[in-house]
Chains A and B, each alone.
Chain A
Amino acid sequence: MMDDLSTNLFRQMYRIRSVEEAIAHHYPEGKMRCPVHLSIGQEAIPAIFANIIHATDFAVSTHRGHAHYLAKGGDLNAMIAEIYGKSTGCSKGKGGSMHLIDLAVNFMGTSAIVGNSIPIGVGLALSVQLKRTNQISCVFLGDGAIEEGVFYESVNFAAVRKLPVLFICENNLYSVYSPLSVRQPKGRSIAKMVEAMGVEVAVGDGHNIAVCYEIMKNAVHKVRTTGAPLFLEFSTYRWREHCGHAFDNDIGYRTQDEFLEWQAKDPLNNLEIRLGQSSSNLERTLEIIKSEVNIEVKAAFDFAEMSKFPEQSEAYDGVYSL
């Protein structure tokens, strides 16, 4: 990979990681009064996505959507302010961590209901087809959503209507605390199942940046040029608890050994070591990136803290669009 691409990926991953580490750090203060679903450990795919996708393309995501919002170019200050429940938040305090939106970069929304945003992403692709623009629609989902009927319904419609939608499945093995082994039959390949529905698929180790970059680049290009749907499945692992800021390897649904095995694959740390060892110039570049990001993240939390809460009366606004 080219150095500037590698440093860009590093910047994206480091930025997403830093934002989420800062959320985890401040969360016990009790000022972020909404559920947060962190994706620390899963940064590689969003970082790659950020380097490939166009601002005009559409994206929707899930309850675990901070990384996707940031990768699409969503405003950092507005996201942190939203989690703090402030009027400067991206949803004016109405949505919280699970309802992120930034229309300036066509990040169209996230949903707190597993599988819920999948057909919405497909609908955006239908609108693209009707309007004959050169956009694609990207749908982030997890392995749990595969078990929802709406996933099957949505993929089926995307296939039958040939819609420009890219499904990006981040398979992190768990739905809350339930492992894949109790949810899907042994030996099931999610990608093969989707392929059997008539949609082209690709699979990648979500920690292998070079391979996943090529997969994502080819997929985006293909959806854009053919207008047909494509499904990507990347293996990954969330380090922290399902919901909240802490580690939860002690509560018994997964082992510390399993966690350590996945943590050793840390895409951010591995890239930093590789780049740092390759030249002292690059090492300095990474240090500069880190200090820039650290300042930006600190500023975002300051912005959120200093922003005003919405007025109580605003709770009654906006039930209907006028």
Chain B
Amino acid sequence: MSQKNFAAAINEAIHQTMEMDESVICYGLGVTDPKAVFGTTANLEKCFGSDRVFDMPTSENAMTGVAIGAALNGIKSVVTHQRIDFFLLAMDQLVNSAAKWHYMFGNQSCVPITIRLIIGRGWGQGPTHSQNLQAWFSHIPGLKVVMPTTPEDAKGLLISSIFDPNPVVFLEHRWLHNSIGEVPVGDFRVPIGKAKVARSGTDITIVAMSYMTIEALHAADYLATQGIFCEIIDLRTIKPLDWDTVMRSVAKTGRLLALDSGFTTGSVAGEVVARVAIEIFGKLRDPPARLAMPDIPEPTSPALTKRFYILAKDIAAKVILMVTKDSIIDIANLTEPVPHDIPGEWFKGPF
């Protein structure tokens, strides 16, 4: 184990896979520039050369197809985009080709590619630099969609993604890149499709992913001081989703609050609520609930985002309402980050 931040854990995972397997290559706009995609691709070109690590034209769609074509001849590409929003230009290659290639050609060839996309919120990223479109990708058969929360899972899931024979969309929340945690050394893998119980509890199950898990943990810490014990499921993978872990937890607690960093309608949280209600309705003590982003684009001005994001306080208030019904628990002591639109003091912008 060693202490590392999320970005360094990503970097270590790519380094190690490239050392282990010379068919792994890494490219994307800016992977070799001085900022190295928030440090995640630092030193890769120096270690592995410009044949295997390279910057690319601003051609998101074609460069996704290039990864697919190379994959058909055994090359495993790790393709990086600085914003998920840029990658929307590549939906044709991802959805029509990568996701379906194995199926539509009768299981004869596969597409082992990893698409790293950065999602986020805050600091004026605005309508087209902040979207959390995980639900889109999870809608497509043939894709795997991974959303790690901790540095440990970032490393373990990225190594698993790169060696997975299928296309994997690997979503990194910008607010997690500087979070620090223990990261196992060496070839450490976390299985895709397995959720983690991030906190055990008895009163309610909170299903979260990526940065929402952090907000949920803050809320749970406070609620524990008030005698409410939350069980937090960190999904880690949203496609295929670990329904066993979700159902087991909800069956135990009898309550479900599903969180999502994406828009409300058609969200992963909505799917979680639906499946739980359909499959184990009888185990629910109370109606299930969800907290997701409103169905409006994210505005830019800090004045407009003041009450926009889902914070620990919102989660706590919702849980209190669900668990205690009429009793009033004060959440005034649950501090909010100031200012509201950055992940921490370290964040100085601009992106």
A30 at the A/B interface (Cβ < 8 Å)?
A: no
Contact A149 to B103, CB < 8 A, known contacts A121-B69, A123-B70: no
Give the residues in chain A near B75, CB-CB below 8 Å. Answer: 123, 126-127, 130
Give the residues in chain B near A23, CB-CB below 8 Å. Answer: none
Cα–Cα, bound, A149→B52 (Å)? 26
Cα–Cα, bound, A154→B110 (Å)? 21
Q: Is the CB of B105 within 8 A of A127?
A: no
Q: Is the CB of B64 within 8 A of A157?
A: no
Cα–Cα, bound, A239→B242 (Å)? 53
A13 at the A/B interface (Cβ < 8 Å)?
A: no
Q: A119-B66, A150-B61 are in contact. List 17 more A-B contacts (CB 8 A).
A: A99-B104, A101-B108, A109-B101, A119-B65, A123-B75, A124-B69, A127-B75, A128-B73, A150-B59, A153-B57, A154-B59, A154-B66, A317-B107, A319-B102, A319-B103, A321-B102, A321-B111
Chain B residue at minimal CB-CB distance from A161: B54
Q: Is the CB of B93 within 8 A of A124?
A: no
Q: Is the CB of A150 within 8 A of B104?
A: no
B127 at the A/B interface (Cβ < 8 Å)?
A: no
Residues 60-74 of B at the A interface (beta carbon under 8 Å)? 61-74
CB distance from A220 to the nearest CB of B (A): 19
Chain B residue at minimal CB-CB distance from A322: B165
* Of the residues B62, B64, B97, B106, contact of A90 by C-beta under 8 Å: B106
A-B contact count (CB 8 A): 152
Closest 7 pairs (CB-CB, A-B) = A123-B69, A119-B65, A92-B106, A153-B62, A153-B59, A127-B73, A321-B110
B160 at the A/B interface (Cβ < 8 Å)?
A: no
Q: Is the CB of A150 within 8 A of B105?
A: no
Cα–Cα, bound, A108→B105 (Å)? 10
Contact A123 to B106, CB < 8 A, known contacts A109-B101, A116-B97: no
Greatest chain B CB density within 10 A among A91, A124, A318, A321 is at A321
A58 at the A/B interface (Cβ < 8 Å)?
A: yes
A300 at the A/B interface (Cβ < 8 Å)?
A: no
Digit string of A118-135 for contact with B (CB within 8 Å is 1, else 0)?
A: 111111111111110000
B25 at the A/B interface (Cβ < 8 Å)?
A: yes
Residues of A within 8 A of B (CB): 58, 60, 89-95, 99, 101, 103, 108-109, 111-113, 116-131, 137, 149-150, 153-154, 156-157, 160, 317-322
Greatest chain A CB density within 10 A among B51, B65, B109 is at B65
Q: Is the CB of A318 within 8 A of B68?
A: no
Digit string of B81-124 for contact with A (CB within 8 Å is 1, else 0)?
A: 00000000000110011000111111111111000000000000
Contact A58 to B73, CB < 8 A, known contacts A113-B96, A156-B59, A157-B59: yes
Cα–Cα, bound, A131→B142 (Å)? 28
Chain B residue at minimal CB-CB distance from A133: B73
Q: Is the CB of A157 within 8 A of B62?
A: yes
B297 at the A/B interface (Cβ < 8 Å)?
A: no
Chain A residue at minimal CB-CB distance from B107: A318
Q: Is the CB of A126 within 8 A of B69?
A: yes
Greatest chain B CB density within 10 A among A99, A113, A120, A121 is at A120
B141 at the A/B interface (Cβ < 8 Å)?
A: yes
Residues 28-65 of B at the A interface (beta carbon under 8 Å)? 51-52, 56-57, 59, 61-65
Cα–Cα, bound, A117→B61 (Å)? 11
Q: Is the CB of A119 within 8 A of B109?
A: no
CB distance from B239 to the nearest CB of A (A): 10
Contact A92 to B107, CB < 8 A, known contacts A111-B96, A123-B72, A130-B25: yes
* Of the residues B57, B73, B106, B165, contact of A124 by C-beta under 8 Å: B73
Q: Is the CB of B72 within 8 A of A124?
A: yes
CB distance from B237 to the nearest CB of A (A): 13
Q: Is the CB of B25 within 8 A of A120?
A: no
CB distance from A139 to the nearest CB of B (A): 9
Q: Is the CB of B68 within 8 A of A319?
A: no
* Of the residues A90, A112, A150, A320, contact of B102 by C-beta under 8 Å: A320
Give me 18 A-to-B residue pairs in the complex whose CB atoms sit less than 8 angstroms apart, sorted by A's number. A90-B105, A93-B106, A101-B108, A109-B105, A109-B109, A113-B97, A116-B92, A120-B65, A121-B69, A123-B68, A124-B70, A124-B73, A127-B70, A130-B75, A154-B65, A156-B62, A157-B56, A157-B57
Q: Is the CB of A94 within 8 A of B59?
A: no
Cα–Cα, bound, A111→B92 (Å)? 11
Q: Is the CB of B65 within 8 A of A103?
A: no
B166 at the A/B interface (Cβ < 8 Å)?
A: yes
Cα–Cα, bound, A118→B69 (Å)? 9
Give the residues in chain A near B102, CB-CB below 8 Å. Answer: 318-321
Give the residues in chain B near A130, CB-CB below 8 Å. Answer: 25, 51-52, 70, 75
CB distance from A46 to the nearest CB of B (A): 21
CB distance from A209 to the nearest CB of B (A): 30
CB distance from B312 to the nearest CB of A (A): 36
Digit string of B162-177 for contact with A (CB within 8 Å is 1, else 0)?
A: 0001100000000000
Give the residues in chain A near B63, CB-CB below 8 Å. Answer: 119, 153, 157
CB distance from B1 to the nearest CB of A (A): 32
Chain B residue at minimal CB-CB distance from A119: B65
Q: Is the CB of A95 within 8 A of B66?
A: no
Cα–Cα, bound, A124→B65 (Å)? 10
Q: Is the CB of B96 within 8 A of A94?
A: no
